[in-house]
Amino acid sequence: MVKKYQEENISAAACGTVERPLVAIVGRQNVGKSTLLNRLAGKRIAIVEDFPGTTRDRLTTTVTYLDKQFTLIDTGGIESNAQAAFSQEINRQVDIAMNEANVVLFVVSAKDSILASDIEIGTKLRPIKAKVILVINKADTEREEAGKAEFRKLGLGDAVVISAYHGRGINELLDAIVERFPQESTATNVDVNCLKIAIVGRPNVGKSKLLNCLLGEDRVIVSPIPGTTRDAIDTTLVFEGQDVVLIDTAGIKRRGRQGEGADKYSVLRSMDAIDRSDVALLVLDASELVTAQDLHVAGYVQKAFKGIIIIVNKWDLNELTNQNEVIRHVRANFKFLQYAPILFTSALNGSGITDVLPQATKVYKERHKRIETSELNNTIQQVLAKHAPPHKGGKQLKFLYATQAEVNPPVFVFFVNDATLMHFSYQRYLENQLRQNFEFFGTPIKLVFKARGKK
């Protein structure tokens, strides 16, 4: 695949071309890394559970402290002597984060003595000691704080003692982080007007593989195990001059199958990813096509009034099927998404990938399209002449004028004599006519009807 864009190693919390210091949180499992990320971010970014291995991929967020901004990266817990391919992937992600970072927070637990995995990680970090801060977490009492002398054996200098859960020592840690920043690294104004794309769908349809293919690197862990991605992960890039955020999400399950714990929060995080996106890539499995879960996800995207592109992924496994037949099948099932483009991709071999970002950019532009009031009202008059408004009880619905109130999504307000006379079938007719005249490719449009004199 030809790489048509430039990726930036920055957080997608605010989008734009910025240079912020990178701070990576590393350590063995269950030492409170995700709790620390949430504490520093001032909000719940990472899923926190009281069992090891909840965080798997690199999570990023932007932190502002005094006049400084930096990007904070959480990582999966390092496993010593990792044999399983999954564990090796986690370790590899941590190595990437450490290599990218200006400052590394090595988190250990005050509730435990030094473990073999702590020693192994400390040995790995010692060559870059100048940018490492040893963080003793879970020091919830003075007795636990007094045990910090033992951790000097790691050879990483004095430690900062904190309790991420209770907030103890956080300001001291932030001071230590900022002291290690390069002198030229200061807060930078960012452009928040960027295209945000959420990659959504049920588990194991190839969302993370699609993200990696779009980026041209293994940005997130890819596994054949359903539910590998639990958190929503943001990656920022520039495509043909447009700032873009790609948000990978955990597979969305039907409400009855969401379960508890990390799976439950993953669904909430996926819904949040849709809410803060402009365009959703709804990924289907070419071998299964449309399932009830796919309809559930698509319904949420449509109700949130987000742009949408339907991606039929794993097409390399289904090449003998006629694409037109698949399009008819998808259209028949997603009757409420007739405006959505359909793309066929294989994240495995890269086919169709180069069409994804251009189509998403087009949908984004359509969401920002604004129709002049005069042109809109002339069109509406022609539409009304072709099909008269409905009657009810001898009273006819009359249109006074229309205006476009908002963009992203496009919102049209129709001032009428009596809004209660509007029938859903005529509203659908108006929407179809607006699309026929102005297109609005790939995005829902919202129609609002107000009685005369009503604000």
Which CATH architecture does the domain made up of 19-179 adopt?
A: 3-Layer(aba) Sandwich (3.40)
Q: Are 197 and 247 in contact (CB under 8 A)?
A: yes
Asked if residue 227 lies in contact with residue 269, where contact means CB atoms within 8 angstroms, the answer is no
Provide the 3-class DSSP secondary structure of residue 382.
helix
Task: Give me the residue label for tokens 């005050």.
Answer: 110
Tokens standing for residue 205? 């349809």
Domain ranges across the chain: 19-179, 195-367, 373-451
Per-residue pLDDT, 75: 72
- Walk along the chain (455 residues) in steps of 10 and give the mean pLDDT of each run: 33 45 85 87 55 48 81 68 56 66 89 84 84 90 70 87 90 91 52 80 86 77 52 75 81 51 49 85 91 87 94 84 90 95 92 94 95 96 93 88 95 94 93 95 95 67
* DSSP per-residue letters across 228-249: ---S-EEEEEEETTEEEEEEE-
Answer whether 0.75 is exceeded by the pTM: no
CATH number for 195-367 (one of 3.30.390.10, 3.40.50.720, 3.40.50.300, 1.10.540.10): it is 3.40.50.300
Distance CA 340, CA 58 (A): 31
CA distance 23 to 177: 8
pLDDT reported for residue 267: 53
Class of residue 56 by CB neighbours under 10 A (exposed 0-12, middle 13-18, buried 19+): buried
CATH of domain 373-451: 3.30.300.20
58: nearest Cα among 49, 50, 46: 46
Which strands sit side by side in the sheet containing 307-313, from one edge to the other? 5-8, 233-239, 242-248, 195-200, 279-285, 307-313, 342-344
Separation of alpha carbons 43 and 354, rounded Å: 35
Nearest partner of 55 among 207, 228, 175, judged by Cα = 228
Closest alpha carbon to 411 in 386, 389, 441, 444: 444
Count of Cβ atoms closer than 10 Å to residue 160 Cβ: 20
Bridge partners of 220? none
Helix, strand, or coil (residue 389): coil
| φ, ψ dihedrals at 389, nearest 5° | -60, 160
- Please tell me if the domain spanning 195-367 has the same topology as the one spanning 373-451: no
pLDDT given for residue 282 in this prediction: 94
Per-residue confidence (pLDDT) for residue 385, from 0 to 100: 94
Secondary structure of residue 255 in the 3-state scheme:
helix
14, two tokens: 């605010």
